[in-house]
Amino acid sequence: MEPTPHAVAPPLFFVINGGSGRPNLDAACEAIASAMRLAGRSHHIFIIENVADLDATIQKAADAAKEQGGAVVAVGGDGTINAVASAALASGCLFGAIPQGTFNYFGRTHGIPEDIVAALQDLLEGQPLSVQVGLVNDRVFLVNASVGLYPELLEDREQFKQRYGRSRAVALWSALVTAFGQHRYLEIALEQNGQRMHLRTTTLFIGNNRLQLEQVGMPQAESVKQGQLAAIAVNPVGTMAMLWLAARGALGKLADADNVTGFSFRNLTVVPLGLWRGMRGSNKPPRKHRIKVAIDGEIVWLHAPLEFRVAPERLLLIKRGGTA
C-alpha cells in the first residue's frame, strides 16, 4: 500500500536508538528540535530506551505516522534503520533516515549526509523515492543478509565495540581477529528458477546495496539497480587465503578471485543439505533447522529453508532529489 500524497508537508515521527549513550542522544534530540523549529515542521521524537522496547516503540511511531499521514524517520545505524523501515513498509507510510552508524551503507548509497544537521535539511527538502527492499523469510533487509562466517564476524565486532568503542578501525581489527579463528563450513543447496546447485562455503552473502558491492569490485552491483539481488559465496579456504580475499575486496578486486562465486537473482532458496534430503525424501516431516543469519548488521535465528527474494512492495524514502 502506498502512502497518500499530501499538499502540506507531512509531520515527522523520529525514532532514536538511546543505546548510543546519553550525550549522543541529547545532541541528536537538540539537533532535531532546532531544525524542526526553524522549518516550522510538526514532529515527535520516540526514544528506544532499551532493546526490549525496540519493537513496541517503533510500532508506536509507525502507527502515529500512518494515522496522521506523516513519515517515520530512523535515527541510528543500519540496524536501527532496518527496523524502522520494516515498520514503515508494513504500515504503508513514508520513511526517512538520519544515518548515525559506523558504516552507514544505506544512507551513503542514497546520498544522505552523515552529519545530522545536513541530513535533517536533506529530509526537510526531500521528496519520496521508491527504493528496492530485500526479504529473507519475510524479514526485511536494506543492505545485506548472510549466513556462515559473516554473522560470526558481526558478533565479534559487537564485542569489540563494547570494549573499545565504535569506529571503523575497531571494526577492521575485530575482522582480523575473526579471520584468524577457526571456522565451520556450510554445506548448502541453492535452488533458482528450477535449477539446483550444491555449495560448500564459508559464507553466503546476499547484497541489496550497490555501494557495498561496488566497493569490493563485484559486477553484480549493476544488477541491484535493475531490480535484482546479488549473491556472493566464498569457497572454504585457509586463514591466509581468507586474508588475501579480504585484501582483494578492500582493493575492489574481489570478483577476480578464484575462490569467489557471484551471481544475481530475484528469488533464491537456500537449505542445509541434510534438510534438503529430508524434504525431498520420505513422507516424514523434516526436522526444524534454525540457522544464524546476519541482517543489516543484526543477528537473528531463522528456520530453514531460507527464502531470499526482492520484496514486491518498495519503500518510499524521503530524500533530496527523490521522485517516486
- List 285's β-bridge partners, or say none: none
Residue 90 grid coordinates: 508494513
Residue 249 grid coordinates: 575486496
Inform me whether the pLDDT recorded for 279 exceeds 90.
no
The per-residue pLDDT for range 87-120, each reduced to its tens digit, is 999 999 999 999 998 889 999 999 999 999 999 9
Q: Looking at per-residue confidence, does 249 or 121 come out higher?
A: 121
Inform me whether the pLDDT recorded for 7 exceeds 70.
no
pLDDT confidence of residue 256: 74
pLDDT confidence of residue 133: 98
- 311 burial (CB, 10 Å; 0-12 / 13-18 / 19+) is middle
Distance CA 235, CA 232 (A): 10
Query: 310: how many CB neighbours lie within 10 A of its CB?
Result: 17
The per-residue pLDDT for range 192-206, each reduced to its tens digit, is 888 888 888 888 999
Ordered structural domains, the chain, with CATH: 12-125 (3.40.50.10330), 141-310 (2.60.200.40)
Residue bearing cell 582493493: 251
Q: Looking at per-residue confidence, does 172 or 154 come out higher?
A: 154
Mean pLDDT to the nearest integer, 39-65: 94
**DSSP, residue by residue, 17-42:** EGGG-HHHHHHHHHHHHHHHHHHT--
Mean pLDDT to the nearest integer, 45-69: 94
pLDDT confidence of residue 260: 87
pLDDT band (50, 70, 90) for residue 180: very low
Task: Please name the amino acid found at residue 109.
Answer: T
Inform me whether the pLDDT recorded for 82 exceeds 60.
yes
Distance CA 169, CA 152 (A): 18
Inform me whether the pLDDT recorded for 5 exceeds 90.
no
pLDDT band (50, 70, 90) for residue 216: confident
pLDDT confidence of residue 319: 94
- 101 burial (CB, 10 Å; 0-12 / 13-18 / 19+) is buried
Distance CA 232, CA 248 (A): 14
Q: What Å distances lie between residue 191 and 196, 197, 198, 324, CA to CA?
A: 4, 6, 9, 33
Q: Looking at per-residue confidence, does 150 or 50 come out higher?
A: 50
Inform me whether the pLDDT recorded for 121 exceeds 70.
yes
pLDDT confidence of residue 6: 46
Q: What share of the chain is helix, strand, coil (3-state, %, to 5)?
A: 40, 30, 30
pLDDT confidence of residue 202: 83
Please give the mean pLDDT across all residues of the chain. 82
pLDDT confidence of residue 187: 82
Q: Which of 156-170, 182-196, 213-227, 306-320 has the least mean pLDDT?
A: 156-170
Q: Which of 77, 10, 85 is nearest to 316 (CA)?
A: 85
Mean pLDDT to the nearest integer, 207-234: 91
- List 190's β-bridge partners, or say none: 197, 270
Inform me whether the pLDDT recorded for 233 exceeds 60.
yes
